[in-house]
Structure formats: structure tokens, C-alpha cells
């Protein structure tokens, strides 16, 4: 994996390269100026899998560099390194995560080989970059063909009730079964679909196949709800509620078993236009959910008056909140606000037992995340349910 180190001190560049060498990294490039690293990244010649970046640098500092990484759509992983106060380091880390960068963690100078080893061995194994291999993005034409040729497939990630650990539903996550590139993830094509007006077609395909799958599961005796991600752009067409209802009717699925997840950041650009549609979805008893809550630019006050009945707290405020008081405070505040507004709460990104215990003790209702299950093809759900049943008792203990 190609690795970049960005630090204004030559000594640090040498030290970190040496440490990475010891850990088995061979393809390493070092930069004293962030602008040069950026230039190399923008050329897009060789995909970079890991960047170690200093925060305090004279020209472009680490925070500014992070902003540019977001702008150019960097999909690899990031480690922040700094001699500054640990709180500054944590804030920068949080900022990068809020922008959806794949941050492995941060290191304080002087960097001990053991902490670097721990970060790259533990965190890298979990990173999107490593798990997903390829990171191409795709254009409109290719995507249009994929939609038309039926190359999109749905995976499903389970959601469980925290109090009882009972399985209650799944979130639909689309993947593209690409003929040459293998399984392609939505962060590589959803943005292109939105920019090129292909998102309605994509949503229709995903929704149809999710509702058919729900019918199939019900026929097999399972009881669950199915959530589908809806891009804000799809809420511009006034007949959207009727189309969803029509589709559900054709598939033989009750409307109250459908959840539509809408991303807050896109939503809040114009909260009035979709109000009509959201209200009529609720009149039909379709659940509507605010996705990735906490990452948008909205003020909490804007939530007032919108008829959402579920709030999904972004994984950035869930994973690790048990040991970070400021994340914990945001998590608790989101929960209590949702409760007062009569909304169901879902914690996303529950990655380990500590996360599970924390969100459960806080009184959140549902949980989703790798600790429970990764997204999976529909055929794998049965086996997962069986395996989950044997973990369930311990996880739902009163004091657990
Ligand atoms: O599946 P992943 O594991 O990579 O999902 C990445 C992002 O893609 C998530 O934020 C999710 O909301 C979004 N996404 C997944 N499936 C769909 C879909 O069918 N429609 C839209 N609009 N977004 C989706
Ligand atoms: O934005 P949305 O909530 O729709 O995103 C779902 C995304 O989160 C998918 O990309 C899914 O693969 C990812 N995801 C699901 N569970 C976890 C988790 O426990 N940790 C992390 N980091 N990502 C997760
Ligand atoms: Mn979602």
C-alpha cells in the first residue's frame, strides 16, 4: 500500500519512514510541504492507502490539508501526528471523521513504535480502504448501463433492539456487482448518480428489490422492517409517496414495515419543499428517518415541525463515545432531543462491546453496526439470525 508522510521536520519524516519500514511498509513517499503531497494526490496516478500527517506546519497546516483531502475525495486512510496538546489532536481527528475521512487515529509526538504498530495493525484491518480494495469512481454513462443491466444488488445490515437484543429490521445498502471490478461500494457511485440525475432510477431499482425481498422474508416466516436510503433529490417529485405506496402494494408489503432514511445534510438545504412529501409519507404510515444525524449543518431548531419519527445518530458520535466525554455528551443530547420529539432512536456504528454497553445504558432503542453484523447478501440473513440468537442472551442481561 502506498503511504505518504507529511511533516515539515525532516527528522520526523526520517523517523516515521523508518518506523513504517520496520512495520513492513515499503512504498513510502515523504513531503515537507502539504501542498506538494496534495499535488501528488491530485495527479491521481497511484492510489494512496495511508497518509500520516502532522498538524502544525508553517504553510498549509494539517487542518487545511484535511479540507483539501475532502475536496479531492481522498478515500484512503489517515493518521494524524502532532506535538500539540492531545485535545487539539482529538478535535482535528473528529473534524476529519465528520467529513467522512477514514481516520485510523492520532499519535502524539514523540511517536513510539509500539503505538504506531498498534494503530496500523488494529485499525487498518477495520478500515474501509483495506476492506474494499479498489477505489475508482465511476461516470454517468457506466452507471446508467449498470442500472439498466441489473448490475445493482442490495445488501442488508441488521438492526436490533438494545433492550432485548431482538432482531427488528434491516437497512438496505446498494452495491454494484461490476463485471470487471467486482463489488463496488456506494461511496464510489451515489454522488455521481445524484449529480447526473440517475438517482431516481437507482432508488426505484433498490426500493423495488428491497420490497420484493421483504415479501420473500415474510413468506419465510420472518418479521422485520426494511429501511431504504432516499436521496433528498428524490423528494422533489410530488408523486413520490404514491409511487412508494404503489410499489409496496404491487409487492404485497404493508406500508408500516417500510422505513425511508433521509440524510440530514442534504435535507436541510430546503426544509420546506419536501415537507409536503414527508408529511404524506407519514400519513401513509411509512416511517421516515433522519440519517447520519449530527453531521449536517442544520441547527437543532430546524428539526422542529418536520414529521420524522426516527433519528439515526451518526457513527461519528457513537463509536468510542464511551471513552470520550464530548462525544458522549453529543450522543446523550441527541437521544434526549429525539425522545422529547417522540422519535425512535438508532445508534449507527456500534463496532464493539463497549459501544454496545454504552448506547444500551444511555437508553437508545435500536443499534446497528459491525458489532452486530456487517451488511450482507439477503441469502446470508438466516444464518446470521441463528448465530445472533446464541449471542443474544448475554447481550441483553439486565446489568450488561
Ligand atoms: O454501504 P455503505 O456501506 O458504503 O454505504 C455508504 C453510503 O451510501 C451510506 O451513507 C448510505 O446511506 C449510502 N447508500 C447506500 N445505499 C444507498 C441507496 O440505495 N441510495 C442512496 N441514496 N444512498 C445509499
Ligand atoms: O450513511 P449510512 O448510515 O446510510 O451509512 C451506512 C454505512 O455505514 C455503510 O457504509 C455501512 O457499511 C457503514 N457501517 C455500518 N456499520 C458500521 C460500523 O459499525 N462501523 C463503521 N465504521 N461503518 C459502518
Ligand atoms: Mn442509512
Asked if residue 315 has its Cβ within 6 Å of ligand 2, the reply is yes
The Cα-based distances of 110 to 83, 105, 198 in angstroms read 7, 15, 49
| Sheet hosting strand 28-31, strand order edge to edge | 28-31, 2-6, 48-54, 77-82, 102-108
Rounded CA separation 81/94 (Å): 14
Q: Which of 122, 173, 316, when mutated, tests ligand 2's pocket best, judged by the most ligand atoms within 8 Å of its CB?
A: 173
Total Cβ atoms within 10 A of residue 108 = 15
Check: CB of residue 227 under 8 Å from CB of residue 169.
yes
Cα of 348 to ligand 3 centre, how many Å? 9
Q: Is 197 exposed, middle or buried (0-12, 13-18, 19+ CB in 10 A)?
A: exposed
Query: Is 126 close to ligand 2, i.e. is its CB under 6 Å away?
Result: no
Nearest CA to ligand 1 atom 1: 173
Q: What is the DSSP string of 372-392?
A: T---B-GGGHHHHHHHHHHHH
Q: Is 82 in the pocket of ligand 1 (CB under 6 A)?
A: no
Give yes or no for a cis peptide into 110 (omega within 30° of 0): yes
Assessment of whether the complete model's pTM goes beyond 0.85 = no
Of ligand 1's listed atoms, the one at least distance from the Cα of 155 is: 1
pLDDT digits (tens), the chain, 400 positions: 899 999 999 999 999 999 999 999 999 999 999 999 999 999 877 788 999 999 999 999 999 999 999 888 888 899 999 998 888 998 899 889 888 888 999 999 989 999 999 898 877 776 766 666 656 778 889 999 999 999 999 999 999 999 999 999 999 999 999 998 889 999 888 888 888 889 999 999 999 999 999 999 999 999 999 999 998 778 878 899 999 999 999 999 999 999 999 875 555 556 566 788 889 999 999 999 988 887 654 556 557 777 899 999 988 889 999 998 888 998 999 999 999 889 999 999 999 999 999 999 999 999 999 999 999 999 999 999 999 999 998 898 765 5
Tell me the backbone φ, ψ of residue 197, rounded to 5 degrees. 55, 30
Taking the CA of 375 as reference, the closest ligand is 2
Amino acid at each position: 500500500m502506498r503511504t505518504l508522510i507529511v511533516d515539515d521536520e525532516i527528522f520526523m519524516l526520517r523517523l516515521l519512514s523508518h518506523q513504517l519500514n520496520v512495520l513492513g511498509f515499503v512504498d513510502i513517499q515523504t513531503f515537507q510541504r502539504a501542498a506538494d503531497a496534495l499535488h501528488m494526490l491530485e495527479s491521481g496516478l497511484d492510489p494512496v492507502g495511508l497518509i500520516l500527517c502532522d498538524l502544525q506546519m508553517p504553510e498549509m497546516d494539517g487542518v487545511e490539508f484535511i479540507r483539501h483531502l475532502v475536496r479531492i475525495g481522498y478515500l484512503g486512510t489517515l493518521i494524524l501526528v502532532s506535538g500539540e496538546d492531545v485535545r487539539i489532536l482529538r478535535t482535528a481527528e473528529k473534524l476529519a471523521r465528520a467529513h467522512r475521512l477514514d481516520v485510523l487515529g492520532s499519535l502524539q509526538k514523540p511517536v513510539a513504535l509500539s503505538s504506531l504498530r498498534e494503530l496500523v495493525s488494529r485499525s487498518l484491518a477495520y478500515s474501509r480502504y483495506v476492506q474494499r480494495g479498489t477505489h475508482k469512481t465511476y461516470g454517468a454513462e457506466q452507471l446508467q448501463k449498470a442500472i439498466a443491466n441489473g448490475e445493482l444488488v442490495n445488501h442488508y445490515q441488521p438492526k436490533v433492539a438494545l433492550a432485548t437484543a431482538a432482531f427488528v429490521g434491516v437497512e438496505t445498502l446498494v452495491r454494484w456487482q461490476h463485471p470487471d471490478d467486482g463489488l463496488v461500494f456506494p461511496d464510489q457511485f451515489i454522488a455521481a448518480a445524484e449529480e447526473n440525475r440517475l438517482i431516481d432510477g437507482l432508488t426505484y431499482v433498490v426500493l423495488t428489490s428491497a420490497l420484493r425481498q421483504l415479501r420473500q422474508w415474510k413468506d419465510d416466516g420472518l418479521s422485520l422492517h426494511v429501511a431504504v436510503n432516499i436521496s433528498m433529490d428524490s423528494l422533489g417529485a410530488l408523486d413520490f409517496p404514491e409511487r412508494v405506496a404503489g410499489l409496496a402494494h404491487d409487492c404485497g408489503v404493508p406500508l408500516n414495515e417500510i422505513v425511508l432514511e433521509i440524510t440530514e445534510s442534504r435535507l436541510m438545504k430546503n426544509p420546506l419543499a419536501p415537507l409536503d412529501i414527508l408529511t404524506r409519507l407519514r400519513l401513509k404510515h411509512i416511517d421516515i428517518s433522519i440519517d447520519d444525524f449530527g453531521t449536517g449543518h442544520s441547527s437543532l431548531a430546524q428539526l422542529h415541525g418536520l414529521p420524522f419519527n426516527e433519528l439515526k445518530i451518526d457513527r461519528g458520535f457513537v463509536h468510542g463515545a464511551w471513552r470520550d466525554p464530548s462525544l458522549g455528551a453529543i450522543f446523550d443530547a441527541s437521544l434526549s432531543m429525539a425522545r422529547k420529539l417522540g422519535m425512535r432512536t438508532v445508534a449507527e456504528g456500534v463496532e464493539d462491546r463497549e459501544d454496545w454497553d454504552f448506547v444500551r445504558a444511555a437508553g437508545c432503542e435500536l443499534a446497528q453496526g459491525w458489532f452486530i453484523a456487517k451488511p450482507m447478501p439477503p441469502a446470508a440473513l438466516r444464518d446470521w439470525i441463528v448465530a445472533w440468537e446464541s449471542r443474544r442472551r448475554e447481550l441483553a442481561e439486565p446489568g450488561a
